[in-house]
Structure 1
Amino acid sequence: MVRWYADLPAVRARQVTADAVWLVLVTASVLLGRAVNGAVSALAAPARGFTGGARDLERQLDGAGENAADLPLVGDELAGPLQRAADGAASLAAAGQQQVDAVTQLATVLGLASAAVPVVLVTLLRLVPRRRWQRRADETRRLLRTPGGEELLALRALHTRSPAELLGVHPEPVLAWRRGDPAAVRALADLQLRAVGLRRRPAPGDAAP
């Protein structure tokens, strides 16, 4: 079973707070990406207006050319220039649409980058220590269940915990561990468990308190 949070309330509270900070940062990154996308997309507004105007002009010139073609005698002479002007307007509309597409693509790329880069960074900064803690907690639990594991946890506490913590467990913690004092060994092992944020769980055969 994957262990997500520590047993001790103080350690678990720090983990939950760190998760909440991560969630806030991810949300802020997504909002930043959307804001960047909107700001860059707004730069395409003039090109969109130009494209729309060119298309309207193309339609009007096409209509005028078709009407002129119906006129007797001079219809062909009038329709030709109008059709060429309509083709020119279509070319301008196509150029404007290319500009709109380029800005829209840039807005998408910048928006995604503005959101994805911070999200990846804060997620890595959160997942790496969380995964390290999970491995440490699982290893500590497995060690406690192995023969001699409690003594090894007690020895680890002697090497890693502060003198004040050790003296709070026993006035002579090293000598007590060397003698194999069961109460001192258990207390030292529990000290190491608490350092990881865990507490001793009763064995399946233990009577309920």
Structure 2
Amino acid sequence: MPFYADVPARRTRQVLADAGCLALVAAAVLAGRTVHGTVAAAAEPARRFADGSASLAQRLTDAGDAVDGTPLVGDEVADVLDRSAGSASSLARAAAGQHEALLDLATTLGVLVALVPVLLVVAVRAAQRVRWARRVRDARALAADLAGDRVLALRALQRRDAGPLLAVDPDPAGAWRDDDARAVRALADLELTALGVRRRVTATPTSTAPRSP
């Protein structure tokens, strides 16, 4: 199927639309990264608290080991230090869990903020391009013979503005009804041009039917 139009003006609009789509995708990805970075930064205090609590627990454990076995009060002090180390370790695990949860949230939000707009933009643009490509494929197939030209001419009468139609013939509908080959060909070309397509198969008019009075 065709990817871009043959007519430069239509092709330029398509390229600009595709570039705009890519710009929106880039903006969505940047927004996702920004959201991820912001939420991840909010998790940094939890990480520092977890590291500090773990370090405190290790120091308390070392201190308890150092005084363990000291006469008179060694065992009691060691027990207090061990309990304090356990509490610090619990705080460290809680803070580490909070840090991990915030990082997971940052990843989830970042992906959603980036992915949802990207999917929407790409889906809409892809649907537009596929629809246009199918119309172009059908139009090129119709332009291969005179009967197809009549179908294209009828579409032009239904879809195009009055100005271009009247430029083909003062009575374009009458010319189509009377099977005026020249007018039918011109109306078909008008429809092809509107789609951004150049005629590739020449359907040479063989005769011009007489116009009814």
What range is the shorter-chain TM-score in? 0.7 to 0.9
Distance 1:175 1:114 in 2: 56
Structure 2: gaps spanning 5 or more residues:
203-213
- How far does residue 174 in structure 1 lie from its aligned partner after superposition? 3.0
Question: Deviations along 1:124-168, whole A, 9 cap, x unmatched?
Answer: 332222222122111212222366111211122222222211121
Shift of 1:48: 1.2
The alignment's C-alpha RMSD in Å is: 1.9
- CA deviation vs aligned residue, 1:86-145 (integer Å, no higher than 9, x gap): 111110100111111121111111111111122122223322222221221112122223
| Shift of residue 18, structure 1, vs aligned partner | 0.7
Q: How high is the TM-score relative to the length of structure 1?
A: 0.88
**Following superposition of structure 1 onto structure 2, how do residues 47-86 of structure 1 map, counting pairs within 5 Å?**
47-69=46-68, 71=70, 74-86=73-85
State the AA in 1 paired with 2:84: A
1:6 and 2:8 aligned: no
Shift of 1:73: 5.8
Determine whether 1:39 maps to 2:38.
Answer: yes
Q: Please give the residue correspondences for 1:141-152 in structure 2 after superposition, counting only pairs within 5 Å.
A: 141-145=140-144, 148-152=147-151
Q: Which amino acid aligns with 1:38?
A: G
C-alpha displacement at 1:78, in angstroms? 2.8
Residue 179 in structure 1 maps to residue 187 in structure 2: no
Aligned residue for 1:115? Answer: 114
**Bigger shift: 124-133 or 30-39?**
124-133
| SS of equivalent residue, structure 1 residue 47 | helix
2: distance between equivalents of 1:198 and 1:29? 33
**SS of match in other structure, 1:28:** helix
Q: 2:26 aligned with 1:27, yes or no? A: yes
Distance, in Å, in 1 between the alignment partners of 2:132 and 2:75 is 84
Match in the other structure for 2:16: 17
The corresponding residue for 2:206 is none
- Matched AA of 1:195: A
Which residue type is aligned with residue 126 of structure 2? L
- For the residue of structure 2 that corresponds to 1:27, the secondary structure is helix
The yes-or-no answer on 1:99 pairing with 2:112 is no
Structure-2 residue corresponding to 1:207: none
Secondary structure of 2:52's aligned partner: helix
Give the residue type in structure 2 aligned to 1:104: L
* Other-structure match for 1:193: 192
Paired residue for 2:211? none
CA distance in structure 2 between the aligned counterparts of 1:135 and 1:175, rounded to whole angstroms: 29
> Which blocks of at least 5 consecutive residues in structure 1 are unaligned?
204-209
Q: Is the 8 A contact 2:143 2:201 kept in 1?
A: no
Corresponding residue of 2:161: 162
Share of identical aligned residues, percent? 50
2:18 match: secondary structure: helix
Secondary structure, counterpart of 1:145 in structure 2: coil
CA distance in 2, matches of 1:34, 1:110: 9
* Change over 3 Å in CA distance of 1:96–1:85 after alignment to 2: same
Aligned pairs, how many? Answer: 202
Distance in 1 of aligned mates of 2:167 and 2:114: 49
2: CA distance between counterparts of 1:18 and 1:156? 25
